[in-house]
Amino acid sequence: MNNKITKDHLQKPAYIYLRQSSMNQVRHNQESTERQYALRDKAMGMGWPPEMIHVLDGDLGLSPSDILSH
């Protein structure tokens, strides 16, 4: 465990926000998307239990104007 991560930190949820502004980016930058999803494994490696890790990817591939129009 990282010495900067305390027991107090691990009692709070970890949120991972994935961001790419267009489906073109998602399709053509798959490595970037995979690296972003891999942050979940990194959080687990730092000590967060899987049930405390929340991946926010609901707007992956949407531009800000797409998000505002929903």
21 is known as an active-site residue: yes
Assign residue 17 a region (left: φ > 0; alpha: ψ between -120 and 50; beta: otherwise). beta
Of 28, 59, 27, 56, whose CA–CA distance to 40 is shortest?
56
| Active-site amino acid positions | 21
